Chain A
């Protein structure tokens, strides 16, 4: 009994001591502006055009961009994935690792107080055609999904394609709370939007990312959106994007069309019951 009582008291003393000390010294565990300055200066000085900058853990991102945001264009911050980058600069706190760096080869690691800077090397994938970047060359039209009615051409204003019921515009989409650069289709329950790229140079693979771009709509609506992809009129793939699928990757073999320009068409049919926005980003890769 004596030992048990003293053990409880000792346990209380240890927990109390650790908790009080951690509370009073909490500020010492935080990276200082000088450390951020030193870490990001190293990245800035060695940055090359095909490099990606990431921060880990993800919640540190705004502070990282405070120091390096001028070197992180919107296209990089809202990337679909990290495939096209040759090197990755990972600025990390608390020993965290960015998911983009997993599987890449670390070339160098430097410590700046509480911040670690690691440079990773990887094999980049060349993008033959970026459909989001090339959206200005696309034509849009809209037709009733049930086939009872005519196809109507959409008009372009600034960078947005306006259709009677729907709209397509390049945006930063928020999919699963992450930024994703792509084309936003405001879908309609009754109409299908057709987006056609007349001269898309294809590679061996067509990568298509889809995502519902607004959490509110997912909350209220659970019917899937249908996306049909065709090349030169040949129906290549049908994608069903259901709520909860996140940033969904579909990869299609396009070897037989590789190296030449083709007509690529995306048809997006909204879910019955209401409107919802769909985000889409596609790339032709070798």
Chain B
């Protein structure tokens, strides 16, 4: 039989390949365009440092690590740690500039694809070691088959990589409960999580809380007390890795770390449509992250996940063994990420990307739930041999087919996608749920614009304007078109204007009616009949 590690590797590679393939037709978004630029800048600094070291001249090395040289590259987009952006930049330098194997965007996105692959591999290992290989396989495929997680995992952003780092930290911590050597790796994983995105600040609360509960349950039985090593290594390696990987912190660690924290504590409130209301001021309706999760994850995944948790806790309640399954750890990690948004008075963010870490833990519970159900089915029906194998295979297919089909269906416009409960994208629109954000869907109108826009046309690009550079570099957009700028002056001056449909963007469409003298669009990009981007031309 194929080893656990090898199976995890194959699943990881398969997931990486799916993401890389999907990424070829996925639009670029506003934030990603910033990270592309940051990746180039950061990797440039490392390149220059390498050259300085290779020159053997100490003065050059010293100049390269001076505050001025560091700030020249790293002050850009310093509201997020540098790890993923640096990896995007390294990948771009190697696979695009040096080897020429991949395009700009493919090379930039490759580390994110690999992080997605690692996530799937880790989920498999976690599920397989906690319950069974079948549970691990189902969990891995359900994680890959979560439409919005799949969307984010294709992008050179941080929202999916932090899920990998989060799960990695929890996995290492869980292993450390039975094998002290994993304490060190818990610290490493936590450091990498901090270096990926600020969501990691919450990990010590989760892990510390879980550790205390286990210690209380252990009581005076010293041999049952959990090792404190993971906590110690987290305390040591977390800040050390965060500091070491991010040159921007080197010379002013305290004040710059405070600046970084303050950016997120006082983050601007986004606009987010929720049941027809435009949320742009706290407090959040506490239901929002739970409802949005309930309307975007495949229903089968949700039912299996909830069923899995139900079974685990029922067994625990009946004092039956749940094997090595960390029911509490899984449940807390599934619930905690959306709860931060729901109950903390967080700024208005809205979209699932902020609590995607829920998905792998729910998927592992779903895998365990299916495994328990499968065993009971075989037992009840007294199936043996091939018929038992066939029944097991059928149950696995039943569990994962909807998730994979929904992800296939949602691509490339997964932010418009809603599940069976909502009634798909059209049902989501009927309910008045957020249609999209980040301007990524504009890529879908580029072919029409390339074919119809007059030479040197001035275009109002709406939310897509930050992605023009990469779109031209990728050969997706004509280079002669120009950007007329932002807001009303940009709309007024343009020959063509794009409206990316979000509730709070309606005013741009109304401006176009006013300034272009028509309410008739020239082109409408739709996902299953739901308008995403509308293009207007000025009447001559």
Contacts and interface: CB of A to CB of B under 8 A. Distances in A.
B450 to A, nearest CB: 19
Given A5-B376, A12-B395, A19 B405 contact: yes
A179 B381 CA distance: 62
Contacts of B18: none
A176 to B, nearest CB: 9
A93 interface: yes
A94 B430 contact: yes
Contacts of B119: none
B340 interface: no
B148 to A, nearest CB: 15
Contacts, number: 145
Task: Indicate the size class of the contact surface on chain B.
Answer: 35 or more
Given A5-B377, A172-B514, 15 more contacts: A2-B380, A6-B380, A29-B424, A57-B429, A57-B430, A59-B531, A62-B499, A62-B531, A66-B524, A69-B519, A72-B520, A94-B430, A96-B430, A174-B506, A177-B278
Contact of B377 (A9, A62, A214): A9
B394 to A, nearest CB: 9
A26 B528 contact: yes
A60 B534 CA distance: 12
B299 A15 contact: yes
A81 B300 CA distance: 44
A148 interface: no
B373 interface: yes
Given A9-B377, A66-B520, A174 B280 contact: no
Interface string A40-67: 0000000000000000010111110110
A105 interface: no
Given A20-B405, A23-B408, A59 B429 contact: yes
A8 B519 contact: no
B485 interface: no
Contacts of B307: 8
B303 A12 contact: yes
11 contacts: A9-B395, A23-B406, A26-B424, A59-B531, A63-B531, A66-B520, A66-B521, A66-B524, A177-B503, A179-B513, A215-B504
A18 interface: yes
B492 interface: no
A16 interface: yes
Interface string A67-103: 0111011101110000000000000011010000000
B237 to A, nearest CB: 42
A9 B507 CA distance: 50
Contacts of A63: 524, 526, 529, 531
Given A13-B398, A29-B528, A77-B513, A19 B506 contact: no
B520 A19 contact: no
Interface in B367-424: 373, 376-377, 380-381, 395, 398-399, 401-402, 405-406, 408-409, 419-420, 424
Interface in A199-232: 214-215, 219
Contacts of A23: 402, 405-406, 408-409
B520 A179 contact: no
Interface string B490-529: 0000000001010110110111011001111101101011
B13 interface: no
A222 B512 CA distance: 28
Contacts of A11: 303
A173 B506 CA distance: 10
Contacts of B521: 62, 65-66, 69
Interface string A1-39: 110011011011101111110111011011100000000
Nearest to A63: B524
A133 B62 CA distance: 71
A70 to B, nearest CB: 5
Residue in A13, A30, A57, A70 whose Cβ sees the most chain B Cβ within 10 Å: A30
B281 interface: yes
Contact of B534 (A62, A72, A96): A62
A65 B520 contact: yes
A97 to B, nearest CB: 12
Interface residues of A, number: 53
A178 B506 contact: yes
B278 A215 contact: yes
A135 interface: no
A57 B423 CA distance: 14
B426 interface: yes
B401 A5 contact: no
Contact of B524 (A1, A62, A172): A62
Contact of A8 (B373, B401, B435): B373
A116 interface: no
3 A-B pairs with the lowest CB-CB distances in the bound complex, closest first: A69-B520, A19-B402, A23-B405
A94 B504 CA distance: 24
B373 A19 contact: no
Contacts of B514: 74, 171-172
A74 B513 contact: yes
B272 to A, nearest CB: 13
A171 B377 CA distance: 67
B418 to A, nearest CB: 11
B433 to A, nearest CB: 11
Tell me the dominant secondary structure on chain B's binding face: helix
B163 to A, nearest CB: 23
B457 interface: no
Interface in B92-120: none
B530 interface: yes
Contacts of B406: 19, 23
Contacts of B530: 59
A66 B405 CA distance: 31
B391 to A, nearest CB: 9
Contacts of B399: 12, 16
B298 interface: yes
Contacts of A2: 380
Contacts of B507: 174, 177, 214-215
Contacts of A69: 518-521
B520 A12 contact: no
A286 B294 CA distance: 52
A215 to B, nearest CB: 6
B188 interface: no
B304 interface: yes
A30 B504 contact: no
B318 to A, nearest CB: 13
Nearest to B527: A30
A93 B529 contact: yes
Contacts of A62: 499, 501, 509, 521, 524, 531, 534
B278 A16 contact: no
B529 A30 contact: yes
A177 B300 contact: no
Interface in A130-187: 171-174, 177-179
A46 B424 CA distance: 34
Given A12-B399, A174-B510, A19 B529 contact: no
Given A172-B510, A174-B510, A16 B429 contact: no
A58 to B, nearest CB: 9
Contacts of B298: 19
Contacts of B280: 215, 219
B299 A19 contact: yes
Contacts of B519: 65, 69, 72-74, 76-77
